[in-house]
């Protein structure tokens, strides 16, 4: 047996096609969804992420802007920018790219966001809506995990699900979404005893712990669906050979760039055991930006009374 590979790129493209049609309908009704992305400093990874977010907005026919601020900014100065965006009617979504410089109080910044424009779904009001199963804005990566499962015809209701990782961004909201889908959910973390044994009970195993290749075949029940959320860089050639033997593409990638991506899952030992597996890259990652776009459209509909229009964000 070899796991079915769940193609996140194909699912992203489905969602984008649905969103493009919905945005065209909104525009006919005089509503142009708008996203504002705030980038503080010159972090190369953050620059790439924000550029891709703005590019995707443009591809879908939404308005977008990237506000670039110096890494010397104070908390008060950043809050002043947020106050302006909160009041700006043509902005439906605001995203503050993390991490922020150490002198900025990130918690105060996230609390200052208008919850109706919090397209990352991290404001306490949106977290509370998620806990209670109310309509609102949901963190993008967990929402993407649910889309992968649903669009891959993998049942959630009645299944045993195990989430490794309890972060506010992925682990906790993913567990809540699975629970709302009527799965029986266990959350594991660094203090969990007999971790492989607990994970082997899962029909759906979500690995979101940020440790490269930690989840091996020993963690996986035969036939289970494994969702790999992690992304780490291998920077030693011997590690690439260990995790990706007989994979010349990975070796070529490493030789060209000096690093290559791996998730939290060891693909060599898990692929023969699992029933389905998301790859890294090309699995969960593409869904994160897609669901950010979904949240921006949803925010536009909720803020501007356009609930009657249905589509990918319903």
Q: What is the DSSP string of 98-153?
A: SPPPTTS-HHHHHHHS-GGGBTT--SHHHHHHHHHT-SS---HHHHHHHHHHHHTT
- The residue-averaged pLDDT of 121-136 equals 94
307: confidence class by pLDDT, cuts 50, 70, 90? very low
Q: What is the pTM of this model?
A: 0.93
- Please check whether residue 130 is in contact with residue 138, taking contact to mean a CB–CB distance below 8 angstroms: yes
Confidence (pLDDT) at 116: 96
Catalytic residue among 92, 118, 120, 266: 120
Confidence (pLDDT) at 305: 77
- The answer to whether residue 120 is catalytic is yes
Give the Cα separation of 150 and 244 in Å (integer). Answer: 29
Catalytic residue among 53, 117, 172, 250: 53
Give the Cα separation of 248 and 231 in Å (integer). Answer: 20
**CATH 3.40.50.720 domain extents, the chain:** 140-284
What CATH architecture applies to the domain 27-117?
A: 3-Layer(aba) Sandwich (3.40)
The residues that bridge with 302 in the sheet, in sequence order, are none
**CATH 3.40.50.10860 domain extents, the chain:** 27-117
Catalytic residue among 92, 97, 114, 264: 97
Q: What is the mean pLDDT of the chain?
A: 94
Confidence (pLDDT) at 309: 42
Comparing CA positions, the residue from 277, 257, 261 lying closest to residue 269 is 277
Number of helical (H) and strand (E) elements in the chain, helices listed first: 12, 11
pLDDT at 1 over 90: no
Q: Which CATH class is domain 140-284?
A: alpha beta
The residues that bridge with 204 in the sheet, in sequence order, are 161, 225
- The answer to whether residue 97 is catalytic is yes
Structure tokens belonging to residue 90:
């043509």
Of all residues in the chain, the percent with pLDDT exceeding 90 is: 91
Confidence (pLDDT) at 91: 96
pLDDT at 312 over 60: no
């Amino acid at each position: 047996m070899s796991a079915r590979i769940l193609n996140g790129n194909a699912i992203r493209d489905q969602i984008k096609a649905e969103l493009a049609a919905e945005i065209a309908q909104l525009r006919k009704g005089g509503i142009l969804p708008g996203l504002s992305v705030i980038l503080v400093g010159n972090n190369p990874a953050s620059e790439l992420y924000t550029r891709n977010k703005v590019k995707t907005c443009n591809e879908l026919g939404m308005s977008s802007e990237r506000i670039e601020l110096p890494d010397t900014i104070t908390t008060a100065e950043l809050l002043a920018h947020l106050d302006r965006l909160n009041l700006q009617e043509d902005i439906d979504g605001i995203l503050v790219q993390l991490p922020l410089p150490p002198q900025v109080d990130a918690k105060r910044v996230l609390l200052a966001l208008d919850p109706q424009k919090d397209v990352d779904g991290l404001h306490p009001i949106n977290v509370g809506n998620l806990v209670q199963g109310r309509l609102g804005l949901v963190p993008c990566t967990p929402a993407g995990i649910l889309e992968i499962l649903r669009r891959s015809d993998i049942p959630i209701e009645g299944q045993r699900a195990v989430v490794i990782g309890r972060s506010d961004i992925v682990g906790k909201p993913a567990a809540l979404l699975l629970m709302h889908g009527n799965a029986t959910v266990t959350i594991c973390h660094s203090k969990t005893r007999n971790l492989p044994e607990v994970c082997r009970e899962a029909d759906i195993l979500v690995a979101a712990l940020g440790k490269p290749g930690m989840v091996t075949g020993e963690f996986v029940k035969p036939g289970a669906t494994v969702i790999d959320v992690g992304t780490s860089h291998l920077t030693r050639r011997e590690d690439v050979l260990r995790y990706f033997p007989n994979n010349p593409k990975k070796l070529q990638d490493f030789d060209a760039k000096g690093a290559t991506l791996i998730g939290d899952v060891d693909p060599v030992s898990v692929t023969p055991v699992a029933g389905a597996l998301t790859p890294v890259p090309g699995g969960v990652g593409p869904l994160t930006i897609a669901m950010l776009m979904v949240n921006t459209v949803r925010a536009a509909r909720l803020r501007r009374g356009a609930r009657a229009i249905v589509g990918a964000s319903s």
